[in-house]
């Protein structure tokens, strides 16, 4: 399963973050921190995307100035020159999931129950808030530690992370022994816009007592260059 598909499946939940000193200020702060992210960065920036899934690392380059193939070029697969078949598969997947980008900010703002936000750490550099995921599955809610970090200088969201601290048993003979989710954000370049930098999802467990699964999807964005516009 691709990282984007796995995220859409997991993030069919809703988020709302924030942080300050008073409870009623948390939602406002997170709303501000999320709004600071430039979700339309691909309109003006080229970048390299490294995607790890199904045991393979695919590296591609996006450039909004390139009209062919929606601006995407597959550079390598596991460090080797990609085959024609791999190029076709890569471009097909990019075309198939091109609409996902439209909901990128909604994915972040769809994970957190804002009424559960709690300040657990504050330094001169950042706030750290704990939260309960906005999810209907009680087995998940009772088994995870979820946090969001907001940088004070620039007041932008730096990361969202969810980790299970015990097995999750959602039913139907399924047990998750490991569940981890990470979103990270930061400047594209020094003094540049705040952009998504990485997405990591790891799910490990068993289904119906017989079928083991161990899935890790990682996507990282690097080498940002301003492309105009």
**pLDDT score at 106:** 56
Alpha helices, DSSP H, located in the chain: 3-10, 23-35, 84-96, 104-108, 138-141
What per-residue confidence (pLDDT) applies to 211?
87
**How do the pLDDT tens digits run along the chain, 229 residues long?**
444 444 444 444 333 333 334 444 888 898 899 999 999 999 999 999 999 988 999 999 999 999 899 999 999 999 999 999 999 999 999 987 765 555 555 566 678 788 889 999 999 999 999 998 887 677 778 899 999 999 999 999 999 999 999 999 887 788 999 999 999 999 999 999 999 999 999 999 998 867 899 999 999 999 999 998 6
The Cα–Cα gap between 71 and 137 comes to 39
Which tokens hold the place of 221?
A: 């964005």
pTM (2 decimals)?
A: 0.82
Query: Which pLDDT belongs to residue 20?
Result: 35
Which tokens in the block code for residue 180?
A: 């981890």
CA Rg value for the chain: 19
CA distance 43 to 65: 9
Q: Is-contact 58 74, C-beta < 8 A?
A: yes
How far apart (Å, rounded) are the C-alpha atoms in residues 193 and 186? 8
Amino acid 114: pLDDT: 82
The Cα–Cα gap between 81 and 196 comes to: 27
* Owning domain of residue 152: 3-226
Q: Into how many domains does the chain fold?
A: 1
């Amino acid at each position: 399963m691709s990282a984007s598909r796995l995220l859409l499946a997991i993030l069919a939940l809703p988020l709302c973050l924030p942080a300050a000193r008073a409870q009623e200020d948390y939602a406002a702060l997170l709303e501000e921190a999320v709004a600071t992210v430039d979700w339309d960065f691909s309109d003006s920036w080229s970048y390299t995307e490294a995607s790890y899934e199904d045991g393979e690392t695919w590296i591609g380059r996006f450039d909004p100035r390139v009209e062919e193939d929606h601006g995407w070029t597959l550079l390598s697969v596991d460090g080797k020159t990609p085959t024609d078949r791999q190029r076709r598969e890569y471009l097909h997947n990019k075309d198939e999931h091109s609409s996902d980008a439209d909901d990128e900010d909604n994915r972040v703002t769809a994970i957190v129950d804002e009424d559960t936000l709690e300040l657990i750490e504050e330094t001169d550099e950042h706030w750290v808030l704990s939260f309960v995921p906005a999810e209907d599955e009680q087995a998940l809610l009772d088994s995870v530690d979820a946090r969001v970090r907001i940088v004070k200088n620039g007041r932008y969201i730096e990361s969202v992370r969810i980790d299970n601290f015990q097995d999750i048993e959602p039913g139907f003979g399924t047990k998750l022994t490991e569940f981890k989710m990470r979103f990270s954000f930061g400047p594209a370049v020094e003094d540049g816009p705040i952009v998504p930098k990485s997405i990591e999802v790891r799910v490990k467990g068993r289904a119906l007592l017989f079928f083991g699964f161990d899935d890790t999807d990682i996507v990282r964005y690097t080498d940002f260059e301003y492309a105009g516009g």
